[in-house]
Amino acid sequence: MTDRSNLSRQANKLRQQSELEADEQIRDRLLRMADHYAHLAESQADSEAHPPGPESLAEIFTKRD
């Protein structure tokens, strides 16, 4: 799994790169990519703060639709 600080750094790098980009479509794409990296960092932080317990893992294997 990637370190969340690396994900945040990558998001910031993409935002900075977008500021230098003249092409609007590329700039928008860079910003969307930055948003995705930031979201991944947030999700990883939440996962680290709330690791799955044995009950939730057992539920995965026993849950039936």
Structural domains in the chain (count) = 1
| Model pLDDT, residue 65 | 58
The 10s digit of each residue's pLDDT in 34-52 is 999 999 998 888 777 777 7
What domain range includes position 28? 4-62
The 10s digit of each residue's pLDDT in 51-65 is 777 777 677 777 665
- Of residues 56 and 11, the one with the higher pLDDT is 11
Give the pLDDT band of residue 8 (cuts 50, 70, 90): very high
3-state secondary structure string across 13-49? HHHHHHHHCCCHHHHHHHHHHHHHHHHHHHHHHHHHH
